[in-house]
Amino acid sequence: MAIRLECAILKIAVLLASSGLCFGVEGNQADPTTPTHKEVESIGLTSESSFENLTTFCMDADGNLLACDAKAKQIRKLTPAGKTLATWTMEFAPWAIHACPDRTIYAAGPGVVAKLDKTGKVLKTALSDGGNFPGGKPSGITATEKDVFVCMGTGWSLRSRSSIARFDRDLGRPKTIAKDLRGCCQRLDVVAKDDVLYVAENARYRVLRCDRQGKILSKWGNRERNNIEGFGSCCNPMNLCFGPGGSLYTAESGLGRIKRYTPEGEFLGLVGHVGVERFNRAGRLAASCSNISIAVNTDASRIYVLDFKNNLIRVMAKVDGDPDLKPNR
């Protein structure tokens, strides 16, 4: 009788696994592509480099990192190796940041968007909510030659909704260009290239391509926990970044997985994983939505990934010494 019961349990387990009904399981198949990078170190482990509440970061035109510590209300300028070059104290908690090729910097916090010069001096601020926009949490910011775009979210979990506001480069002429986007837990990332916006609408497991008016030009991506080309875990892709040659890098919260696509959504390969909680047989923490900002250097030899829960920037290095693609800077 015991043998029959064990066989029955085994058959049920096999059927559940094959049907994808094993709740919270990412799938144990090996990734069908070989990772191009591996994790080599972390920034933020020492007392000199530690953060109180590392919310996001970006890479500036010189290849340095601009890391936002919301609790300390600071933006810290770091070398690629993690050495502090400067610390800028803000009047607001920085939650989103973008560095332009002309070395102008834009940052956003609760109710405010700021324009900074390369030394961290605040040149101008503007309200990001109040009479113009619904009160919300900034989660993504980017800029083109003419415009600045800020994502703001309200609500919680899958009930969260996000809007995108557009400003001119001097933070004037504010306008809401998109509403009711699905960014889980108030998180919606946006990047721009060639005047096209790329929005990580993570609760719908897709990337939107939009013009400056917010009109959707195309969309791609799907929820898939067993196919490397799709997006897994709770809500993904969580964050985006353009790298050399115009490749679009995606980061998946809960998985710590970084991948590479063309801007039109063609899968180019697995970059690798960083050591955050994996979704395999995971509990609630690993399934939760966390900002997982990424930055790529000029030859994609080093990739930086935010570990939001541990206040670290994890560093991945290319497995071989060859540049990834022709640099786009």
Taking 60 as the threshold, does the pLDDT of residue 13 lie above it? no
pLDDT tier for residue 3 given thresholds of 50, 70 and 90: very low
pLDDT of residue 158: 64
pLDDT of residue 157: 64
pLDDT digits (tens, 9 = 90+) for 232-290: 888 899 999 999 999 999 999 988 899 999 999 999 999 999 875 544 443 444 446 68
Taking 60 as the threshold, does the pLDDT of residue 310 lie above it? yes
Biggest CA pair distance of the chain: 78
For 110-256, strand residue ranges (E) read 112-116, 122-127, 137-143, 147-154, 161-168, 175-181, 189-193, 196-201, 206-210, 216-220, 239-242, 248-252
Bigger pLDDT: 269 vs 27? 269
Bigger pLDDT: 1 vs 52? 52
Entry pTM: 0.84
* Rounded mean pLDDT, 95-103: 97
Taking 60 as the threshold, does the pLDDT of residue 28 lie above it? no
Bigger pLDDT: 166 vs 127? 166
Alpha carbon distance 266, 312 (integer Å): 30
Taking 80 as the threshold, does the pLDDT of residue 82 lie above it? yes
pLDDT tier for residue 135 given thresholds of 50, 70 and 90: low
Alpha carbon distance 214, 182 (integer Å): 15
Lowest mean pLDDT among 57-71, 74-88, 125-139: 125-139
pLDDT tier for residue 216 given thresholds of 50, 70 and 90: very high
**Phi and psi (nearest 5°) for 113?**
-120, 135
pLDDT of residue 251: 96
* Rounded mean pLDDT, 134-146: 86
- pLDDT mean across residues, the chain: 84
Range 67-70, long-range pairs (CB < 8 A, 24+ positions)? 67/313, 68/94, 68/95, 68/96, 68/97, 68/107, 69/94, 70/94, 70/95, 70/109
Check: CB of residue 202 under 8 Å from CB of residue 188. yes
Q: Which fold has domain 39-318?
A: Neuraminidase (2.120.10)
Q: What's the start-to-end Cα distance of the chain, in Å?
A: 69
* Radius of gyration in angstroms for the set of CA atoms belonging to the chain, rounded to a whole number: 20
pLDDT tier for residue 321 given thresholds of 50, 70 and 90: low
Alpha carbon distance 320, 264 (integer Å): 27
Residue type, 46: T
Domain residue spans in the chain? Answer: 39-318
On the 0-12 / 13-18 / 19+ scale of CB atoms within 10 A, 59 is buried
Q: Which residues pair with 57 in a beta bridge?
A: 67
pLDDT of residue 276: 59
pLDDT tier for residue 129 given thresholds of 50, 70 and 90: low
Bigger pLDDT: 11 vs 175? 175
| DSSP class of 12 | H
**Phi and psi (nearest 5°) for 314?**
-90, 140
pLDDT of residue 4: 44
Alpha carbon distance 99, 22 (integer Å): 42
SS3 203: helix
Taking 60 as the threshold, does the pLDDT of residue 205 lie above it? yes
